[in-house]
Amino acid sequence: MRWESWPHGEAFLKEWEQLLSHKRIPAAMLWVGPEGVGKTPLAWTLAQALLCPKGDLAYACGTCGDCQVVAKLEHPFFWLLPPTGGGKPLEEALPLFRQALSQDPFLSLSEWEKLLLGGRGSLSIGVEEVRHLQGFLTLASTQAVWRVVLFWHAELLTRQAANALLKIVEEPPERTLFLFLATRVEALPATLRSRCQIKKFPPLSAQVLEKLAGTSLSVAQLSLAQGSYSRLRRVMDPAQAPYIEALRAWLRALLQPAGDTDWLPLIETLAQAPQLSDLLLMGVSLIREHPHLSLPQKNLGIDTFLRVADEIEAHLNPLLLLAEATVTLRQYWQKK
């Protein structure tokens, strides 16, 4: 796995080499940034660099036995903690997670949720998983090798799990790196955050997105993607096209004088979108850039969209939520 293959890779490598040269490798790092900016493939590349016995902790050889098992996410000292749910224990979820991530290092949380739970239930990293981790960490490592523990979407750590972790991170075993990847920094308790070196990953530039997509992108595509490669792929997915079109048409309908457009078929289409909460987040960028809305109107629209997206994540009835949002927004957006 090569640093330069991933967004932010070369910049991160420079910072990492700095830490190495000062022998200041932190015991825990918290990487924060939106989904789809490359945190996961970078963490994976870093794990390989640390676990390769022939490397220098910055570059892996890429060919030895250890490198090969890290590349398959099967290295015993690369401990993966993705969120699970639906009563599925980690052991059951892991083979699926390894497979999904190997096929797509930019796997999104909603894709993972769909894969693991089929859209039923919700995901978290629970205290049971942390107890398993404790067992793994107390196993004496016979060689002077590194261990890497990756919390994928650490914002989904339960309070209890985060508390159980505190003690471990406070007194970390030697040569162990805890990597917490999260989309929101404040979702982790301050006590845990304060033990981590925090690094922020900004959204990707248009140039980087075009390089990843291997094609030039329209202004509309870039604006919907909001600097996230995972979101860009959904924007470009032909299966999503009718839903994106329904979203645009619904927004237009909301802005027209009452009675002109029949919005019910539009929200019926939208309610069937497989990734509706993501779609609403795309809607947020459309509202933000809308030329005819005032700032307070934009803010109310954005708040409404974000709230509905959250409630859909909580499995409330999407059609009902969209109908309520329609009433609220029509009232407010048509006020002059």
Q: Which of 20, 57, 58, 61 binds Zn ion (CB under 5 A)?
A: 61
Q: Which of positions 19-58 make contact with Zn ion (CB under 5 A)?
A: 52, 54
**C-beta of 52: minimal distance to Zn ion in Å?**
3
**C-beta of 149: minimal distance to Zn ion in Å?**
20
> Is residue 67 near Zn ion by the rule CB under 5 A?
yes
Q: Dihedral of CA 102/105/106/109: which sign? A: positive
Q: Which of 25, 64, 208, 213 binds Zn ion (CB under 5 A)?
A: 64
Are 279 and 247 in contact, with CB atoms under 8 Å apart?
yes
**C-beta of 145: minimal distance to Zn ion in Å?**
12
**C-beta of 65: minimal distance to Zn ion in Å?**
8
Nearer to Zn ion, 59 or 136 (CB): 59
> Is residue 249 near Zn ion by the rule CB under 5 A?
no
> Is residue 254 near Zn ion by the rule CB under 5 A?
no
- Total residues in contact with Zn ion, by rule CB under 5 A: 6
**C-beta of 24: minimal distance to Zn ion in Å?**
24
> Is residue 212 near Zn ion by the rule CB under 5 A?
no
Nearer to Zn ion, 39 or 75 (CB): 75
Nearer to Zn ion, 35 or 66 (CB): 66
> Is residue 69 near Zn ion by the rule CB under 5 A?
no
Q: Tell me which residues touch Zn ion (CB under 5 A).
A: 52, 54, 60-61, 64, 67
